[in-house]
Amino acid sequence: MADYDYDLFVIGAGSGGVRASRMAAGHGAKVGICEESRVGGTCVIRGCIPKKLLVYAAHFGSDFEDSREYGWTLGRHDFSWSKLIANKDTEIDRLNGIYIQLLKTAGVALLEGRGVLEDAHTVRVGDRTVTADTILIATGGWPTLPDIPGIEHAITSNEALHLDDLPRRMVVVGGGYIAVEFAGIFNGLGVDVTELYRGEQILRGFDNDIRAALAQEMRNKGVDLWVECDIETITSKGHHLELMLKDKTFLETDAVLYATGRAPNTSGLGLEAVGVELNVKGAVVVDAYSRSSVDNIYAVGDVTDRINLTPVAIKEGAAFADTVFGGKPTEPDHAMVPSAVFSQPSVATVGYTESEARKEFGEVDIYKSTFKPLKHTLSGRDERAMMKLVVDQKTDRVIGCHMVGDDAAEIVQGIAIAIKCGATKAQFDATVGIHPSAAEEFVTMREKYVEPDRD
């Protein structure tokens, strides 16, 4: 065997890279990892965690209002954006420190700087060069911006977490989970929010009933949601921005946040030069064990554009370590992966959408319920929750679960275990509900949903 500096060298210290490096070190490998920014990756530094903290902050305005009908009398309450961002940054700094300590405790050497491949076994990190028997690419993804006139005036989700001041008006462009989450955050903090999406309905790829229910609730909460429209130009007008849409309509705003997609972060890493195959989106092409087209180079997480979720990257990193260094070949399981959208109200889902299920299984049974949560019987708020189960008619297996409503992620996480285990609708029906709770609706829906006759 050649004499290398490391058994494994990881480029990218996000969730997947950190998990893979720590586990590989635990299997006895000598491991190094490099990071050009802070340790923790998208989720910890500029994604899930800081965004969820802002979601919590955005809920307080409506919670203060709802408390009145529960007997509470509140005095004056003011919101400080700068305090929220400072406290958020303190927490991110703390988590960054924890991740650094985890690497140190595991015996993983952390090199600060951008890693670039010079050949299949050599990585240049700044002005230093290291060699490794195995290399893992775990560089994640990065927000993309369209090439339109004036795009330099727009921000992405990265900058939205560090704005100096809270704008009075904001346009959020996009219809995916990042767009609807930030629309809800800024709307909840008192910003006048308009969301623009070029498609016919937000959350493409989600169940259609979920999409429609969330769109209605967002509008009810004050988000001005426009679909089938897009921006053609952005022009600075001094203290505000002027947007010209494709239909020549004009909008005036103080900030434009683009959340129209993310791309695998593979540019400038030297991947093509050493023979690593990338697909049309720039993602590293890997096999079932996360191996690239170069035998000793692997990739996990968003950089592979499989399922771009933090827990999936962690699972892929663990499976890689077990496969390559643990003597236990393991394929990461990408079936029935639950996910959530921390919109307002929130969304959670696991398994097949109704349309996917009909294509895959043919005949399916649908159970659906829309209701006003108990909390709002006193608050008076016009907000409704929606729950849906998709059942394979032949086997009675529950193959899809979808929810719009408060605590959707907390509820569907538990349902996901049952679905992963192959639970049937009969077993759902046999389960006693926790009363009173929204979650009990998933075990009390008995009547099959029949599409109304549209004739």
Q: Which stretches within 119-241 are classed as H helix?
A: 157-160, 177-188, 208-220
The DSSP output letter for 453 is P
Task: Determine the Cα–Cα distance for residues 211 and 347; give it in Å rounded to an integer.
Answer: 9
Picking from 39, 40, 51, 43, the residue whose alpha carbon sits closest to that of residue 84 is 51
| 3-state secondary structure (DSSP) of residue 259 | coil
Residues 6+ apart with CB under 8 A from 421: none
Contact between residue 300 and residue 320 where contact means Cβ atoms under 8 Å apart = yes
- CB atoms inside a 10 Å sphere around CB 126: 13
| 3-state secondary structure (DSSP) of residue 65 | helix
Catalytic residue among 27, 376, 402, 435: 435
**Catalytic annotation present for 376:** no
Torsional sign, CA 388, 393, 396, 400: negative
Assigned token pair, 356: 């996917």
Contact between residue 114 and residue 34 where contact means Cβ atoms under 8 Å apart = yes
Residues 6+ apart with CB under 8 A from 7: 24, 29, 30, 31, 132, 133, 134, 325
Q: Which residues are catalytic?
A: 435
